[in-house]
Structure 1
C-alpha cells in the first residue's frame, strides 16, 4: 500500500488518477483513503474481515499485468534472476520496456523499499540491482540508455565511480540507494521500467 490521505471519495479518485495508482481503499467513517500500487485480489478481500468496512475502488489505469507495479505513471517489474547487464537489457526490451532509470532520489527510495526485496548484505557491493545507464561511450560519463542524456548527479557510494581494474561500464544501485559502477558481465538482479 502506498500514500494515505483524508478527503471525499471523489478527492481520493482524483489523487489516484494524478499519481497513477492502481486502486484505492476508502474508509467512509474516517473519510480517508489509501492508494494501492497493485489491485487487490479477491482472496485478499475475503480473507481479511476488516476490509468489509472499507470501500474498494479499482482504477482502470493500472499496469494491466500482475508482475508489474505502478508508481507515478511508470510500471516496474523486478526480476529475481541474475544476468549480465546486456542480457538484463535484452530481457527488458523483450517486455517492451528498458532497464530502470532512477531519475530522482524519491524514485530510487521507492524502488528499493517496494520492488526490490529487502536485505542488508555485509558487503555493500553484493546484492546490487542493474539500472539502465552506462559509460561505454565516454569513461566516467554515465548516460541513461533511453533518451534522458547524461547523468549529472548521483549519490555514489564512497569513491565511486572508480572503474576498478578497468571495464566497469555499467551502473548498479545498492540497497542503501547509492550507486556503483560495475563490470557489465557481472550477474545481478534487475528491474525493468516502462511508461504507463
Structure 2
C-alpha cells in the first residue's frame, strides 16, 4: 500500500511539474476525499474516524475496528487528539474510549500503533499513568472524566474505541486558463 501511495504522489507531482514547465497554462491540483457512512473525515490527515458502536475490552475493540474496515486509532498530534475528542463528545459528553496505545510488553514503555520508531504522542491527565493497587493498567483510553486527556486503564474493562481508516481520495489537475 505504501508503494502504491508513493507511486501515485510521484505521478501527480511529475504531471504538475510538466504542466508548470510548459508555461502554457496554469493548473491547480484538486483533492476530494470522502468517508463511508457513519465515519467522519479529518481533512488534514485524509483519514476517516468513528467510534465503535458498542463497548469492548481493548483487544476486542481492536478487532472490532478491523472488522469495520479500519484499525484502532492513536492520535499523533494535539490537533488530531482534539478532533477525536470532539467526535466522541458528539456521541456522548461523558465518553470513555480506547486508543491504540499500551504498555503490555514492558511496564512503563508505552507503544502506540502507527507511531513505531518514534516517541509516542501521549497527553496524560494529571497523575497518569498510574496503577490501580497491584493491578497493572496496560491500555490507554481518552475520557471526559480525564479532562479529555489520556489515562491508563485495565485492558479488560469495556469501553468504546476510536477507529480510523483511509479516506477515499481522488486527485485531479484542473486548468485555470492560459
TM-score, with structure 1 as normaliser: 0.61
Partner of 2:73: 100
Q: 2:83 aligns with which of 102, 105, 110?
A: 110
Identify unmatched segments of 5+ residues in structure 2: 1-27, 168-178
Provide the rounded CA distance (Å) in 2 between the counterparts of 1:152 and 1:70.
23
Provide the rounded CA distance (Å) in 2 between the counterparts of 1:170 and 1:66.
29
1:142 equivalent to 2:110? Answer yes
How large is the Cα RMSD of the aligned pairs?
2.2
Task: For residue 115 of structure 1, report the CA deviation from its aligned partner.
Answer: 4.4
Contact 1:170 1:181 in 2 (8 A): yes
Q: Deviations over 1:125-169 (max 9, x none)?
A: xx3210001101111111013453454452211111112232210
Contact 2:129 2:152 in 1 (8 A): yes
Partner of 2:41: 70
- The answer to which of 181-190 and 154-163 deviates more is 154-163
Partner of 2:140: 171
Greater share of helix residues, 1 or 2?
2
Provide the rounded CA distance (Å) in 2 between the counterparts of 1:189 and 1:151.
25
Identify unmatched segments of 5+ residues in structure 1: 1-12, 18-58, 122-126
1:190 equivalent to 2:158? Answer no
Provide the rounded CA distance (Å) in 2 between the counterparts of 1:69 and 1:153.
22
Contact 2:76 2:115 in 1 (8 A): no
Q: Deviations over 1:85-138 (max 9, x none)?
A: 01000011122321111111111111111344242x5xxxxx321000110111
Q: What SS does the aligned partner of 1:76 have?
A: strand
Provide the rounded CA distance (Å) in 2 between the counterparts of 1:128 and 1:85.
12
Count of matched residue pairs: 134
C-alpha spacing 1:103/1:153, structure 2 compared with 1 (3 Å):
closer
Which structure carries more relative contact order (alpha carbon 8 Å, separation 6+)? Answer: 2
